[in-house]
Amino acid sequence: MIPINKPILGHEEKEAVMRVLESGVLTNASAEGGPLVKAFEKELAKFMKAKDAIVVNSGTAALQVSLLAMNVKPGDEVVVPSFTFAATAGAVLLVGARPVFVDIDLRTYNMDPDAFRKAITNKTKAVIPVDLYGLPAEMDEIREEAEKHGIAVIEDACQSQGASYKGKMAGTLGDAGCLSFYPGKVMTTGEGGAIITDDEELAEKMRMIRTHGQMIGYDSILLGGNFRMPEIEAAIGIVQLKKLPAFLEKRARNARMLMERLSGEGLFLPEVPQNCVHNWYLFTVRFSSEKEREAVRERMRKEGIGATVYYPTPVHRLPYYNSLGYGKVELPNSELASKTVLSLPVNPLVEERDIDRMSEIISQTLRSI
């Protein structure tokens, strides 16, 4: 089976984990974190060309901590896309606020800036653009509109680490940017996430929130929780971060080959604006119909290729959100994308022969329909 994504771990990660186990220092409840957490944060901030990185135990935690740090509370509204993973909207609900779903631009699958503009009310406290599939959202337009209304911008860069927009790295494009180190992402810590910011005051607040709002001992100056990253995860992260450029280079190579081979097949191929660099977390094509998409996906599965649909149901149509009344919201582009997109493996384990097989399957299947 050729997986859509898979963690790539070697002896360096194993040795790093063993050193932590032998040290006996598995975590640290202080606001600044343990020695490896601090080291990972320093290296990550350097890689991201940002002032600060605050590592936490998941990408979802990064979103939630960011919302708490920006004082998003019950009664507030947060604008989010629906065509993405449920964690973005879920983090909003977890802090008691109300997600407001908006539609996407079908060219990029990211939040439509015009849709965001129309969704703003006097209750809008924040917006969370998602860099879907690894392509940064149109952040200049979104930030410009947000600044007019005093709205915080939290960039959900959980899929886009290593990508860039107008020369700036994804994750550094908002007031805060959230990364995920889930095993299927471009690098991993097992689980884990991070918040990137240039706001030193905000960073200090986030470090307190991640460990029960504490600054010194058990003082709990503000509301927080246990969002800490353990030392074992930080140890893995330090090693993985060094490997990330090579991982990204292989993904880009595979994406280029797929682009070349699929250029004449009548598909909607990924569009990358000239001012962006994609990280190719997911190489996503769009078909003319759901019938074509399903036929190709079924054939891929039979051939042992993990082509996957991200996402088969927009978040506002999921059962829980439907129970809250969101199912009545009309988002035509999100609905269309959910029925017609398919993501193909381009992870670093994919070889040229795999690219050839995928291209041949798509060509043969579309000709047979």
pLDDT tens digits for 142-198?
A: 999 999 999 999 999 999 999 999 999 999 999 999 999 999 999 999 999 999 999
Is residue 194 in some structural domain?
yes
Is residue 20 in some structural domain?
yes
* Domain boundary residue, one of 240, 272, 291: 240
Same domain, 202 and 324: no
| Contact (CB, 8 A) for 303 and 361 | yes
* Domain boundary residue, one of 182, 205, 240: 240
Could you write out the three-class secondary structure of 14-53? HHHHHHHHHHCCCCCCCCCCCHHHHHHHHHHHHHHCCCEE
Task: Print the domain residue range for 65.
Answer: 11-240
User: Which residues are paired to 154 by β-bridges?
Assistant: 176
Is residue 6 in some structural domain?
no
Number of domains in the chain: 2
Same domain, 79 and 103: yes
Q: What is the pLDDT of residue 91?
A: 98
Q: What is the pLDDT of residue 217?
A: 87
Among 207, 215, 142, residue whose Cα is nearest residue 175: 142
For position 129, which CATH number holds? 3.40.640.10
Strands annotated E in the chain? 52-56, 77-81, 98-102, 124-127, 152-156, 164-165, 168-169, 176-180, 193-197, 276-277, 283-286, 341-344
Q: What is the pLDDT of residue 98?
A: 98
- Distance from C-alpha of 198 to C-alpha of 36, rounded to nearest angstrom: 21
Q: What is the pLDDT of residue 71?
A: 98
Same domain, 135 and 189: yes
Q: What does pLDDT average to in each consecutive run of 10 residues of the chain (369 residues)?
A: 97 98 96 97 98 98 98 98 98 98 98 98 98 98 98 98 98 98 98 98 98 93 97 98 98 98 94 97 98 98 98 98 97 98 98 98 95
| Contact (CB, 8 A) for 170 and 131 | yes
Same domain, 191 and 110: yes
Same domain, 125 and 158: yes
Is residue 3 in some structural domain?
no
Q: What is the pLDDT of residue 369?
A: 87
Same domain, 338 and 208: no
Is residue 4 in some structural domain?
no
Same domain, 269 and 233: no
* Domain boundary residue, one of 240, 262, 277: 240
Same domain, 306 and 183: no
Is residue 1 in some structural domain?
no
SS3 314: coil
Residue 248 backbone phi and psi in degrees, to 5: -65, -35
- Distance from C-alpha of 44 to C-alpha of 63, rounded to nearest angstrom: 18
Is residue 50 in some structural domain?
yes
Is residue 5 in some structural domain?
no
